[in-house]
Structure 1
Amino acid sequence: MDRVIEQKKWNSKRLMTIGGVVTIVALVAGSIFFTSGKSKLNVEVERITINEVKRAPFQEFIPVNGIVMPITTIYLDAVEGGRVEKLFVEDGTDMKAGQPILKLSNTDLELSLANEETTVFNVLTQMQISHDNARQNTISKLNQTAEVESTLKEAERVYNLDKGLYEKKAIGLQEYQKAVNDYQYALRRRKLTAQIMSQDTVSTRQSDQQSKESYQHMKSTLELMRKKVGDLTVRAPVDGQLTSLDAEVGQNKTKGQRLGQIDVLSGYKVRVDIDEHYITRVFNGLMGDFMLGDKTYKLKIKKVFTQVTNGRFQVDMQFIGNMPKDIRRGQSLQIRLALSDETQALLVPKGGFYQQTGGNWIFKLSEDGKTAYRTDIQLGRQNPDYYEVMQGLKPGDRVVTSGYENYGDMQELVLKK
């Protein structure tokens, strides 16, 4: 008798087929689930830096380096060239105004001075001779004038006498006419003599004036020459310390060559180098400060040098209030130069996050502190310590400020302790 063979409903082949389909479906579902959600990354808290966003006083400033310099420096240049004949002092000596520093010798200049002195003395002698001759000439003309006056008086006396005698018919016409002629001649001669004396006086005065002017000019030239020879002895122009003396006995110095400098030690200033990026924001009156020991000292810009060299420009800053007692020329100072007034602002500490985000977003922690998610922000001003937050964060928010190099395009960080 035939027996009906019952087929198995769940054979191994069917089970394997169903298992494969389920696996494929699970993989597709998992892929869809994970790609449609946020990408996450586990991060250990000890490996990152977390800071709190806070509202606090903010001032935009830049760190700059300054060098302490004397408040006034006077450079010593060779007014005249020559050979160094003698050094009176050494470098670093405290000088008084007018005190000699070194002496140069210049034979040509000294010879020119001797020739100029000889010329001036010759001119002076010639002027004296000319003056004596003019005086003798004047005396001679005065004698002539006196003689003419005497002759006129005598001719006038004879004329008056003969006129009376002629009117009385005591003398003839011929004798009377001679007296008239003599008197008129004497009058003309006196007038001519007066004109000559007047012209002589004017001529003598002009000659004396010209001689004096010529002598004064030559005397001025002589004084200038003497000054040039005197400049061969280099002297301190003011009280101060002699520094950077560059001269040795026997060394030749050309005209205008730098010999050294005098530093006026009545006070100090600070010469500061600044990146040219800030040249439009730096002006007279900006304040800065620095720490020396346990005290803070203030500085103010008093002069801006707008010339840019190797991407940097310089400013001079003066001390405001007390100046450090132990400060020395050439000392370096680390200065905070303020570019704005102090205001209240929302601040986030600086960190490596900025290099990857450009300040456009940041990882902000959730309230429970277990995760940090990407948040868009906008930053404004900055100083070496903080960024100013314009929007995207509020006081009390906690953010990850360390570098994001290893996070790629992650949207969320899972913080593991």
Structure 2
Amino acid sequence: MIKDTTAQDTRITRPAFPWLRAASISLVLLVGAGTAITVAARWLSGEVVVKNERLRIAEVRAGDLLRDVSVSSRVVAGVSPTLYAPNAGTVTFHVRPGDHVDQGAVLANIDSPQLTSQLAQEQAKLQRLDIDVKRQAIQNQKNDLVARKDLQQAAVALAAAEREHQRNKLAWDRGAINEVDLRRAEDELSSARIAHDHAVEEAKLNRASREFEQRTRELELRQQALLVEELERLVSGLKIRAPIAGMVASLLVADKTSVADNSALLSVVDLSQLEVEAQVPEIYADTLGLGLSAQVKVGPAEYPGTVTSISPEIVQGQVAARIRFEGDLPEGLRQNQRLQTRLLLDEHRDTLVLTRGPFVQDGGGRIAYVVRDGYAERSSIETGLTNSSDVEIVSGLNPGDQVVISSLEPFRNAERVRLD
């Protein structure tokens, strides 16, 4: 049976220095009060305080600013013609992909019976027209003979009529003939003159007609000759020849198959003229232009180049740009080799440059905080060209200024901020 709780009681010893505890409590209360008073004073005064360790600060410097973009690219043939079928027919290849060919070498033949038959028919027609022209020339010579004969006969008749008229006039003067005979002689002379004049004019007209007819036949012959020449060119074009010296890249149709007119057959590449095709994001499309400088990285080295062509269309958010190397090609360059290319979009020399940071977006490129004597003071600025690492300062800052480039949110748009 438990009588009381005496066995559970513990004696408490009083501290030797009771004033020490009181002093500690008082010190803590004084520090807390001081901190509260300081915070309250700062709040009442409207001063913004930001810790230094939360900020990134950079110096405004003078220098050159280059705006560039790094894009992926690949090596392509600068000259890579695709050959097409000039006419429908059956194609027979004489080469295979990877074969090296000389300029003018026959790469394929197209068998087109229709075109070959048409050429034979037109050649036969050309021969017939040539014979017609020669026959017409012979006929014209015959007609010239007849015309000359008629003209000469008319001249002889005219001369006879003139002599008869002269003899009758002398007889009339002597009274040997009557007036009726004289007048008959005069009529015969007039008739002979009319017949002679008519023969002369008819000979001229007949000659002009024959020349016109001859010219017409010759023009028909010339027209047919041009048609045959064109068909011969088409038939000759059935032999597909290499336009350049290079390598056969690919066959676009199977061997011994029928192809339609203007069908792509094969492609040839000139491996001595390699270029770089860069895929540029469409956000840079407005800044692209012919003649832009580029740096193509091949291994550890960079080689200068120039933009020579830009695709007029955007495919999957990218614009294709062709870059030609300046000078000799880098050694070991291969077609379809993947490279990294840097396009130099713009360059400003002897300008003020500041490291780019979140302050550009937060202030819209118009606000910056300059650090002076432990304070960050707000300044209005104007920015220009920017790239991935720097921004151009057009106005508002001076070389050597220390500027906050981190986020401006802690500054709460204050005019002056104290830095701890």
Question: Given the two structures, how large is their TM-score scaled by the length of structure 2?
Answer: 0.73
Q: CA deviation at 1:235?
A: 1.7
8 Å Cα contact 1:83/1:104 also seen in 2: yes
Q: Distance in 2 between matches of 1:141 and 1:236?
A: 61
Q: Distance in 1 between matches of 2:137 and 2:94?
A: 47
1:74 is aligned to 81
Aligned partner letter, 1:296: E
Q: Distance in 2 between matches of 1:271 and 1:245?
A: 23
1:132 matches 2:133? no
For the residue of structure 2 that corresponds to 1:226, the secondary structure is: helix
Q: Distance in 2 between matches of 1:123 and 1:321?
A: 59
For the residue of structure 1 that corresponds to 2:110, the secondary structure is: strand
1:384 is aligned to 388
1:62 matches 2:69? yes
1:325 is aligned to 331
2:150 is aligned to 144
Cα-to-partner distance string for 1:201-222 (whole Å, 9 max, x where unaligned): 1111111111111221122122
Query: How many residues align structurally?
Result: 386
1:157 matches 2:183? no
8 Å Cα contact 2:161/2:185 also seen in 1: yes
Alignment of 1:170-181 (within 5 A): 170-181=176-187
Q: CA deviation at 1:63?
A: 0.8
Q: Distance in 2 between matches of 1:246 and 1:262?
A: 11
Moved more, 303-312 or 189-198: 303-312
2:238 is aligned to 232
Aligned partner letter, 1:167: D
Aligned partner letter, 1:105: D
1:222 is aligned to 228
Q: Distance in 1 between matches of 2:37 and 2:263?
A: 84
For the residue of structure 2 that corresponds to 1:280, the secondary structure is: helix
Cα-to-partner distance string for 1:343-378 (whole Å, 9 max, x where unaligned): 3556565679989999899999999xxx99999997
179 and 398 in structure 1: CA distance in 2 versus 1, 3 angstrom threshold? closer
1:245 to 232, 251, 254: 251
Moved more, 242-251 or 189-198: 242-251
1:337 to 343, 357, 369: 343
1:258 is aligned to 264
Q: CA deviation at 1:255?
A: 1.2
Alignment of 1:250-329 (within 5 A): 250-265=256-271, 267-329=273-335
1:200 is aligned to 206
Q: Distance in 1 between matches of 2:405 and 2:65?
A: 21
8 Å Cα contact 1:364/1:400 also seen in 2: no
1:4 is aligned to none
8 Å Cα contact 2:370/2:379 also seen in 1: no
Question: Given the two structures, how large is their TM-score scaled by the length of structure 1?
Answer: 0.73
Aligned partner letter, 1:151: A
8 Å Cα contact 1:363/1:372 also seen in 2: no
Q: CA deviation at 1:246?
A: 2.1
Q: Distance in 1 between matches of 2:205 and 2:58?
A: 106
1:113 is aligned to 119
8 Å Cα contact 1:299/1:320 also seen in 2: yes
Q: Distance in 1 between matches of 2:196 and 2:263?
A: 70
8 Å Cα contact 2:65/2:385 also seen in 1: no
Q: CA deviation at 1:121?
A: 2.6
Q: Distance in 1 between matches of 2:325 and 2:80?
A: 17
Aligned partner letter, 2:89: G
Q: CA deviation at 1:273?
A: 1.9
| Unmatched 5+ stretches in structure 2 | 1-23
Aligned partner letter, 2:232: R
Q: Distance in 1 between matches of 2:56 and 2:331?
A: 41
| Unmatched 5+ stretches in structure 1 | 1-18
Q: CA deviation at 1:144?
A: 1.7
162 and 40 in structure 1: CA distance in 2 versus 1, 3 angstrom threshold? closer
8 Å Cα contact 1:283/1:304 also seen in 2: yes
22 and 294 in structure 1: CA distance in 2 versus 1, 3 angstrom threshold? closer
Moved more, 246-255 or 25-34: 25-34
373 and 166 in structure 1: CA distance in 2 versus 1, 3 angstrom threshold? closer
Moved more, 52-61 or 351-360: 351-360
For the residue of structure 2 that corresponds to 1:72, the secondary structure is: coil
Q: CA deviation at 1:186?
A: 1.7
Q: CA deviation at 1:38?
A: 7.5
Q: Distance in 1 between matches of 2:276 and 2:195?
A: 87
Instruction: Give identity over the alignment, percent.
Output: 18
2:105 is aligned to 99
For the residue of structure 2 that corresponds to 1:329, the secondary structure is: coil
Moved more, 342-351 or 94-103: 342-351
8 Å Cα contact 1:346/1:395 also seen in 2: no
Cα-to-partner distance string for 1:74-125 (whole Å, 9 max, x where unaligned): 33122212111x3233334444443222110112222222222233333333
For the residue of structure 2 that corresponds to 1:188, the secondary structure is: helix
Q: CA deviation at 1:51?
A: 7.8
Cα-to-partner distance string for 1:159-197 (whole Å, 9 max, x where unaligned): 223322332233444544443333222211111111211
Q: CA deviation at 1:294?
A: 4.8
